[in-house]
A and B are shown apart, each in its own frame.
Chain A
């Protein structure tokens, strides 16, 4: 059998599997994350059979305009997280290093760039993109990363440039981003070879807003004592608000999740048995070690009740005007958590400390993410000054397990928890 034929049959298999799964979900009251992700990836990976377009997009990028045109959005960062969680990060990062990429570069980018050339990783690589959409509201790295992929796949690249808001959102930035939203629409029309459907975008906008509200409501349930869910659960349930924001599936999923969490609250069920201490997490998870960290903190009766990472997908909701989605989107996407000054970030951290009533602050100093990590030391100092709670900084990497020193981190967590326990004892 030649390669093309094999490839076709493989794709057909993936397609049929996805459709069968989708059909079976009709009879399932509440599909799991795994069910939904299986359908999502199988539809994406069989897009060339169904004629659908695939766009790769950055995690902070505006996905709604794609969804409204039935383009399947694919998130290399989400893929990076999957690679990290399945502990395949170190291998793929090494491959990227052999390709000439420095091991100091972002490990999402390194593993994705390597993965594209070998179709490796936990799901056998991502479906080939028809277009790339890069929004630099999360970092400058995505620009370079998407340039690499645009050269590799030889497909059009749209860059949504969201000027950094050190001390506010300037008028000129507002005009610039708004103008680019129109350019984005034109880019999509060009890629799809059909007129843009603005009516559909309005619906998608509503669903996106509803999804974000629900996601925030889910996260809010952890303000309850004891918390029905932890940040580690949020890391898991996050996938849909990232990838399928603006779809009915995401809304349904979070409605279901919210009622589960509310039910747990009503029945006083805590995610960490004997929850005594509540912590706030900062930065992207250490994907290969989430389980280990979760168990480690739980062994001290500590629950990571909230984090600055998963809340970033609903943190700019205050700027969205549902009736003027296209216009307000520009501001909402520009003023997200990572695109603002360190002082404003510290302010949001303090709001979370108060809201979730936490006893300590754990900061992951993430070698892969400079805009998220530089400034953390100042945020830590501001938190210590304003709220006087103990802070712990762990240096690691979100994907590349080679940067994780288990014994050292374990000792530091033990020492940190001792301080929190003593502090509790003193104040009682």
Chain B
């Protein structure tokens, strides 16, 4: 599909795309590092929020600031910044999530001069009234910070428009998830992943238009593609920077039908209520959507969510895709696995380094796992 090929070019060379966009439209680009970045606000300030994923080449500049036991996502992002690749950014937004991102913000502030640097210190709890009040206060403050930092007023109308665009993207993505769940043959894992990554980079209105076109096309061809009897899997974890994993799963006779990933459903899940004041509604979505393990929304919410996902999409197994040195996910893994075990749902743990390629050993492990399903 042409659109997806275009997306792939953008995902493979995001900075070329962004530089071109900047040159042509003068749009400001703001980097973010987490799915809790309030993108609607950045978008309403006339800037394009871009989720950073770090370098895929060797990390050495970042070694001067972060030890080797820091995850490769955080080290990789710093590496790109220090190497000058991110000079095109007009600002950086650091939502408070894990200890590593928290210190990345400090290191960034001390070593890289950016026109605009914002810490969005969100609450860790998402389940109490005082936390929700604080969350709203933080969003209000972030709005002021953005307006000052980007010298651009955020109007009520602008905010409502941003919410509409983001909601429309989320609605389309939900449709895409449904399509894949109904018949995983409609789109390859690689292509699916490409769309998700493009959603975090591209000018959002352009993306929305293209996405809608892709979905129309997929819906049309869906009936022609017969389900192939492959094993249905759910991916769970943090970020997936290894699109190769999808090929490896498909080669091994499996197919991903849903995910609980930061580069996946957690980014798109939940609509913003358009009948509420925009900031209140944005805060509400954070409180209600599936949480990152660095946030607290109850003791077993993530486990229950995973079980429901497996049931709803009729998956036969779960593959945990954990980034090495990602503490919040590593802490949740034993209890999630135990909850799956109790329901007799098989799971496989894959610990990934950012640069890990889907090699022979990975392939064998996937094949062995998929065979027992």
Query: Residues on A close to B: CB < 8 A?
Result: 99-102, 104-106, 109, 136, 139-141, 143-145, 147-148, 150-151, 157, 159, 161, 163-164, 166-167, 170, 172-173, 175-176, 179-180, 183, 341-343, 365, 367, 370-371, 373-378, 395
Contacts and interface: CB of A to CB of B under 8 A. Distances in A.
Given A101-B330, A140-B327, A176-B134, A159 B124 contact: yes
B230 interface: no
Given A148-B331, A157-B299, A172-B134, 17 more contacts: A100-B337, A109-B331, A140-B99, A150-B299, A163-B96, A166-B105, A170-B121, A175-B133, A180-B130, A341-B109, A342-B106, A371-B99, A375-B107, A376-B67, A377-B64, A377-B65, A395-B67
Given A104-B324, A104-B330, A377-B66, A173 B296 contact: no
Contacts of B100: 370, 374
Contacts of A141: 99, 327, 331
Contact of A143 (B124, B131, B324, B334): B124
B141 interface: yes
Given A99-B334, A395-B67, A183 B130 contact: yes
A373 B107 contact: no
B333 interface: yes
A341 B69 contact: no
A161 B123 contact: yes
Contacts of B90: none
A172 B125 CA distance: 15
Nearest to B136: A172
Interface of B: 64-67, 69-70, 96-100, 102-107, 109-111, 119, 121, 123-125, 128, 130-131, 133-134, 137-138, 141, 293-294, 296, 299-300, 322, 324-325, 327-328, 330-335, 337, 351
9 closest pairs, A vs B, by CB? A100-B334, A144-B331, A172-B137, A374-B103, A176-B134, A342-B106, A179-B130, A102-B330, A371-B99
Contacts of B134: 163, 172-173, 175-176
B86 to A, nearest CB: 19
Given A176-B131, A342-B107, A370 B124 contact: no
B256 to A, nearest CB: 23
A150 B327 CA distance: 18
Contact of B69 (A104, A151, A163, A172): A104
Contact of A166 (B106, B299, B337): B106
A378 B111 contact: yes
A132 to B, nearest CB: 11
A165 B321 CA distance: 32
Contacts of A164: 96, 102, 119, 121
Given A99-B334, A341-B109, A140 B124 contact: yes
Contacts of A109: 331
A131 to B, nearest CB: 14
A362 to B, nearest CB: 16
A101 B331 contact: yes
Contact of A371 (B103, B133, B300): B103
B268 to A, nearest CB: 24
Contact of A101 (B65, B106, B137, B334): B334
B66 A166 contact: no
Contacts of A102: 322, 330, 333, 351
A151 B128 CA distance: 19
B62 to A, nearest CB: 10
Contacts of B137: 172, 175-176
A106 B327 contact: yes
A73 B300 CA distance: 26
7 contacts: A144-B293, A164-B96, A173-B134, A175-B134, A370-B327, A377-B65, A378-B106
A384 to B, nearest CB: 13
A243 B262 CA distance: 38
Contacts of B299: 147, 150-151, 157
Contacts of A172: 134, 137-138, 141
A377 B102 CA distance: 15
Contacts of A370: 69-70, 99-100, 103, 327
A342 B103 contact: yes
A100, A136, A157: residue with the most chain B Cβ atoms closer than 10 Å? A100
Nearest to A369: B99
A380 to B, nearest CB: 10
Contacts of A342: 103, 106-107, 110
Nearest to B331: A144
Contact of A105 (B64, B141, B331): B331
B105 A170 contact: no
Nearest to B131: A161
A286 to B, nearest CB: 15
Contacts of B351: 102
Contacts of B331: 101, 105, 109, 141, 144-145, 147-148
B145 to A, nearest CB: 11
Nearest to B330: A102
A140, A150, A343, A395: residue with the most chain B Cβ atoms closer than 10 Å? A140
B106 A159 contact: no
A371 B185 CA distance: 44
A157 B133 CA distance: 21
Contacts of B330: 101-102, 104-105
A183 B133 CA distance: 14
Nearest to A377: B65
Contacts of B293: 144
A176 B123 contact: yes
Contacts of B111: 378
B141 A375 contact: no
A107 to B, nearest CB: 12
Contacts of A106: 327
Nearest to B335: A151
Nearest to B303: A151
Contacts of B335: 148, 151
B321 to A, nearest CB: 14
Contacts of B66: 374, 377
A298 B295 CA distance: 45
Contact of B99 (A145, A163, A183, A374): A374
A395 B70 CA distance: 13
A375 B105 CA distance: 10
A179 B128 CA distance: 11
Contacts of B70: 370, 374
A376 B325 CA distance: 18
B100 to A, nearest CB: 6
Contacts of B98: 140
Contacts of B333: 100-102
A218 B340 CA distance: 52
Contacts of B294: 140, 143
B299 to A, nearest CB: 5
A365, A377, A395: residue with the most chain B Cβ atoms closer than 10 Å? A377
Contacts of B67: 365, 373-374, 376-377, 395
A378 B105 CA distance: 12
Contact of B119 (A166, A176, A377): A166
